[in-house]
Amino acid sequence: MTIQEQTILITGGGGWLGGLLPARIVQREPQTSFSFILADIVEPKSTKGLAAKVICKKADLSDPASLDALFETEFGKPDVIYSMHGIMSLGSEENWDLGMKVNIDSTRALLEKARHSRNSQGEPIKFVFTSSVATYGGPLPHVVLPSTACQPEGAYGMAKLMGEYLVTEYTRKGFVDGLSVKLPTIVPRPGVPSRATSAFVSGIVREPLNGVEAICPVGSSVEDPVLKNVEVWVAKPSTTLENLARAKNVIDSSSDKITRWSRSVQLPGFTVSIHEIIEALRKVRGDDAVSLIKFEHDDTCQRIVSSWPREFDNSYALGLGFTVDQDGFTGAIKEYMDNHC
Ligand SMILES: NC(=O)c1ccc[n+]([C@@H]2O[C@H](COP(=O)([O-])OP(=O)(O)OC[C@H]3O[C@@H](n4cnc5c(N)ncnc54)[C@H](O)[C@@H]3O)[C@@H](O)[C@H]2O)c1
């Protein structure tokens, strides 16, 4: 068996998904010898026992010298870049300038670095950019299609859309071989709440599972009919990590199926209302867990979440080789309990 080698740079490698991704990539491609460069403004940590070489770099991606250093490690130039660093939605609203600097300027700077490098075969670097459903807004059809216009309603979604345009343009020019993957909201997220508007979707499950009170900023009580109207597009962490790991290979295996005019794909997910989330929690953990959810209505949060699309047509993503959850929100709760409770 020939052992292949691949060097992967993950920016945001100290974050939640970026930190978990190497293990998933190694697990699904045991025939490849991987070297990972994990970069983040907070010191990234390597997964214990990972069967791969890892360099952890504390780096501010908006600082040109830090960026240069990522392409000058002992591992050489990356074959693949996962661009996953960023300032999340609430953070981008609260500090608009920082959001612009990190989410747009440093993405362009990273693409420029990639443009002037080549992989070990002398080919354009594969560039996977993590985008979001927050790129959508305004009036939307009931089911969003790949052809539906993106009209973001916030700084985060706007910056992600700019990143997607850059990835398409840099690919058109042959500077990189890119794909933007729009992630659903990934739930439940472990640990402390993120600076994302959607953070409460995880919180109202995670906190009660840990015996702690959670705040739901949508609705006034568990009976409020608005809970049935606010729906989010979600996926389990394990399914999303699998899709992220596949993304770099989809660029090759499905190159003839990815459209020329947009190198963006909405990763598969499923629709769930806040009401259904609460009822799934009740089914798995009972009334006591649900009673830990307290309601503090927040207009801004509800406006932003309600502006996001509720349902996508998964067929394009599935046709490219991505996968979708089969066990609904109870499956997501059970996965969290297996891994964190
Ligand atoms: N988790 C989700 O539900 C979700 C949904 C849609 C899109 N995404 C996107 O997926 C990616 C990963 O998401 P996550 O949940 O792991 O996010 P995360 O917040 O856990 O990780 C992002 C990382 O970026 C780092 N970062 C911020 N500014 C930086 C800078 N200047 N230089 C270097 N690093 C910097 C942060 O320190 C953080 O560790 C992000 O791009 C996010 O926008 C996530």
Show the domain range for 283: 199-233+269-311+326-336
In a shared domain, residues 128 and 220: no
From 82, 136, 156, 316, the catalytic residue = 156
Check whether residue 243 and residue 297 sit in a common domain. Answer: no
**Could you please report the per-residue DSSP string of 15-28?**
SHHHHHHHHHHHHH
Are residues 101 and 113 both part of a single domain? yes
Amino acid at 254: S
Taking only the tens of pLDDT, the chain with its 341 residues reads: 556 999 999 999 999 999 999 999 999 999 999 999 999 999 999 999 999 999 999 999 999 999 999 999 999 999 999 999 999 988 999 999 999 999 999 999 999 999 999 988 899 999 999 999 999 999 999 999 999 999 998 999 999 999 999 999 999 999 999 999 999 999 999 988 777 778 899 999 999 999 999 999 999 999 999 999 999 999 999 999 999 999 999 999 988 999 999 999 999 999 999 999 999 999 999 999 999 999 998 888 887 778 778 899 999 999 999 999 999 999 999 999 999 88
To test the ligand 1 pocket, which listed residue (88, 95, 128) has its Cβ within 8 A of the most ligand atoms?
Answer: 88
185 touches ligand 1 (CB under 6 Å): yes
Q: Tell whether 192 is covered by a domain.
A: no
**What per-residue confidence (pLDDT) applies to 271?**
96
Pocket test for ligand 1, best of 9, 20, 85 (most atoms within 8 A of CB): 85
> What's the chain's Rg over C-alpha atoms?
20
Tens-place pLDDT, residues 276-300:
999 999 999 999 999 999 999 888 8
Pocket flag, ligand 1, residue 188 (CB < 6 Å)? no
Question: Residue 138 sits in a domain of what CATH number?
Answer: 3.40.50.720
| CA proximity to 9, closest of 62, 65, 68 | 68
Tokens of 182: 């729009």
Residue 341 lies in a domain: no
**Residues 105 and 243 reside in one and the same domain:** yes
- pLDDT for 222 equals 95
Q: Could you tell me which of 183, 250, 133, 178 has the C-alpha nearest to residue 18?
A: 183
pLDDT value, residue 2? 58
Predicted TM-score (pTM) of this structure: 0.94
- 242 found inside a domain: yes
Query: How many structural domains compose the chain?
Result: 2
CATH label of the domain that carries residue 209: 3.90.25.10
State residue 77's pLDDT score: 93
Q: What ranges make up the beta strands (E) of the chain?
A: 4-11, 32-40, 53-58, 80-83, 125-132, 176-183, 185-186, 214-216, 231-235, 264-266, 270-273, 293-295
Calpha distance 246→195 (Å, rounded): 27
